[in-house]
Amino acid sequence: MADGIRDKVAILGMGCTKFGERWDCSGEDLMVESFLECLADAGIEKKEIQAAYLGVHIDEVNVGKAGTPLGSALKLPFIPITRTENFCATATEAFRAACYAVAAGAYDIVLALGVEKLKDTGYGGLPGGAAFGTEMFMRGSNATAPGLFAQLATAYSAKYDIPMSKIKDAIAHISAKSHYNGSLNPKAHLRKAVPEEAIKAAPMIAYPLGLFDCCGVSDGSAAAIVTTPEIAKSLKRNQDLIKVKALQISVSSGEEEIYTKWDGAHFATTRVAATKAYKEAGITNPREEVSMMEVHDCFSITEFVTMEDVHISPKGGAYEDVMSGFYDLNGQVPCQVDGGLKCFGHPIGASGLRMIYAMYEQLLERVPDERKVKNARFGLTHNLGGTPAKNVAAISIIGRD
């Protein structure tokens, strides 16, 4: 009987580039940058890596398909490299595959690396294309990501009878909090604190989301080297062991998109993945036990409803928790401690690993006091890729014993 991933894999090293508009860097440069930091942190040599997984999402711009971009950029010597792609969970999938390879006993030391070189599109936002198949050119709405996620707000307002003005207040607080956290982080894309009033007054992108409700579109790369807890312990005698506690993915069944029972105000996938992840990690009371989170705040409203979907705020209760500062850096469960997608940035194929990196450096207490989460034990990361009606949700939990 399968019993999950808990405590079967440890993180040996991690690396993460500065995210942002890296006009001077190619995708290859970004891969090399995160990899060299990761390798140094792991304290091993490149030849000890037995297999690798590359997370890359967008085909329209970027590094290309398959495992070859990673092999060529890092000069990995003919090892197995597999590309993973699962929307915004792409990097988490690379990490999950690497962990499973170790847990299966197939390899001892495996690399997971995510990269996205987005800023060659020539315009803001993500490139369009056939993300849901070419058939959608014929019958899909003229939608962009902000507009699809913005609808969570109108649906949530209708479901819980909360006026749009209160939702606007809460999502402004969410973005202000992430801007503050990002301002403390030298690797973050956007490093300026922005007051809530300015956030609410920003130009509208997709009602009710304004400019500051949308995350940065960034270039970046993040990487992890994973191994067995035994090997990690032998290589890192003077360091806490950071172990994988849970890795869960949930993918839409088509129900949210075309069946009438979904209310449009929550992520069915996130709820399922979170429930399974807590069980896998042995967490029974997430509101009390989760120390900190990096959730998928592609838009402020996504973070707002996700606070309920990861079972930390009660259903219909996100507004109170957000406004009370529960998720602020000094709150009970700090969220987006590194600035989040909002300010750290969102190179799709790297984001899942960047979130794990943020939890990893907190658990190892490598961050300065001003942004340190005290006594952190469990760090949760969450990706949500696709649209509210058709998506992939990933939950990872890593922990320090």
Partner 1 sequence: MAGIVAYGGYVPRYRLNRGLVYGAMGWMNPANITNARGEKAVANFDEDSITMAVAAGIDALKGMDRNTVGGVYFASTSMPYKERLNAGIITAALGLNDQIRAADFSGGIKAGTTALLAALEGVAAKGVDNVLVTASDARLGKPASPQEMIFGDAAASLLVGSENVIAEFKGSFSTTYDFVDHYRGENAKYDRQWEDRWIRDVGFAQLVPEAVNGLLEKYGLAMTDFNKVVYPCHYGAARKGLNKKFGITPEMEQSNLQVEIGETGTPHSLVMFVKALEDAKPGDKILLVSFGSGCDALYFEVTENITKLAPRAAISGSLANRADLDNYTKYLIWRDIMPGDAGLRSEEDLWTRWSQLWRKRREVLGLWGTKCQACGTIQYPKQRICVNPDCGVPDKMDEYCFSDKVGKIASYTGDNLAASVNPPAIYGQVIFEEGGKYMFDFTDCDLDSLATGMPVVMSFRRKYTDKHRDIAGYFWKAVPKKEEA
Chain contacts with partner 1 (rule: CB under 8 A): 121-125, 127-129, 134-135, 137-144, 146-148, 150-152, 154-155, 157-158, 203-207, 209, 253-255, 257-260, 264, 389
- Find the angle CA(239)-CA(277)-CA(375) to the nearest 5 degrees: 40
Measure the CA–CA gap between 104 and 300, rounded to whole angstroms: 38
In terms of CB distance, is 1 or 138 closer to partner 1?
A: 138
Phi, psi of 275 (to 5 degrees): -60, -45
Closer CB to partner 1, 135 or 369, in the complex: 135
Would you call 341 helix, strand, or coil by DSSP?
A: helix
Give the residue with the Cβ less far from partner 1, 149 or 360: 149
Q: Give strand pairing partners of 116.
A: 220
Minimum distance of partner 1 from residue 260's CB (angstroms): 5
DSSP-assigned beta bridge partners for residue 84: 55
CA dist., res. 111 & res. 148, Å (int): 34
158 vs 323, beta carbon nearer partner 1: 158
Question: Shortest approach of partner 1 to residue 214 CB, angstroms?
Answer: 9
Closest CA to 91 of 124, 62, 56, 64: 56
- Taking the complex as a whole, the smallest distance from the CB of residue 164 to partner 1 amounts, in Å, to 11
Q: Which is nearer to partner 1, 257 or 365 (CB)?
A: 257
C-beta separation of 367 from 358 below 8 A: no
Shortest gap between Cβ of 351 and partner 1 (angstroms)?
20
CB of 34 to partner 1, least distance (A): 29
Rounded (to 5) percent helix, strand, coil in the chain: 40, 20, 40
User: Please, which residue, 95 or 267, has the CB nearer to partner 1?
Assistant: 267
Tell which residue, 211, 162, 185, has the closest CA to residue 366: 185
Residue appearing with tokens 């050119």: 137
E strand spans, 295-389 = 378-387
Closest approach of partner 1 to the CB of residue 298, in Å: 13
Nearest-approach distance from CB 31 to partner 1, in angstroms:
27
Nearer to partner 1 (CB atom), residue 83 or residue 200: 200
Q: Which of 329, 292, 296 is nearest to 312 (CA)?
A: 292
